[in-house]
Amino acid sequence: MAGDGYRLVIGNKYTSSWSLRPWLAMKEAGIPFTEVRINLRAPDKTEQILAHSPAGKVPVLWAGDLMIWDSLAILEYLAEQHPDKGLWPSDPDARAIARAASAEMHSGFVPLREHCPMKFLATERQAEQGEAVEANIRRIVALWRECRQRFGADGPFLFSRFSIADAMYAPVASRFRTYVADLGAFGDDGTAAAYIEALFALSAMKVWGEGARQELAAG
């Protein structure tokens, strides 16, 4: 690790889906870090972020004097620095699929992200989502089912034990809880619903939710 200690710069816990990903992975893996939270609703949010990253976005991981400013890049760096934490599956086939699934989330599902922003504690169930969003939901439900069937026999997560892939899809689970009235309408046989419950049962997800609750209370 470059320098000493990790500093993770994140946005609001209620809405910042990209911040949740490395935060959750680090918490679940037991990798210590100092949290720096920026209120993305503050008038000077841009100046605050630029003080930590010239890219002007969160999250940002500082590893001593090394700055990493993309969620998936942060997660890959942590997996390399902490191979004992098992952030990627140990099986080569599972690891390849986990990387592909994570990359698909990183670069795809734009309609879902645009029309269903993360509101971590909200319930705004909708009977219809629009064609593009519904196609995203069907794809994710099918992908989760495939991963669980092929690699998830030994635990409740996509590749049995918690991995980067689960960190990448945790905000999607939150979106489904907020907006989707019936996952069965999108081909879920119960696998996606059970997976969402497993994610929200994580102690770190509960801590994140409490942080989101405090933000709402503070106004």
In tens, the pLDDT along 119-175 reads 999 999 988 899 999 999 999 999 999 999 999 999 999 999 999 999 999 999 999
Place of tokens 């795809």: 108
- Predicted TM-score (pTM) of the model is 0.96
**pLDDT of the residue at 128:** 87
Which residue in 65, 34, 67, 74 sits closest to 167, CA to CA?
74
**pLDDT of the residue at 169:** 98
Max intra-chain CA distance, the chain: 51
**pLDDT of the residue at 127:** 82
- Name the residue type at position 132: A
Q: For the chain, what is the total number of helices (H) and then of strands (E)? A: 9, 4
Q: How far apart are CA 77 and CA 63, in angstroms?
A: 10
Report residues of the chain scoring pLDDT below 70.
Answer: 1-4
Question: What residues are paired with 66 via a beta bridge?
Answer: 63
Question: What residues are paired with 67 via a beta bridge?
Answer: 62
Extract long-range pairs of 151-159: CB within 8 Å, 24+ residues apart: 151/89, 151/91, 151/94, 151/97, 151/98, 156/194, 156/195, 156/198, 157/195, 157/198, 157/199, 158/98, 158/101, 158/195, 159/89, 159/94, 159/97, 159/98
**pLDDT of the residue at 3:** 42
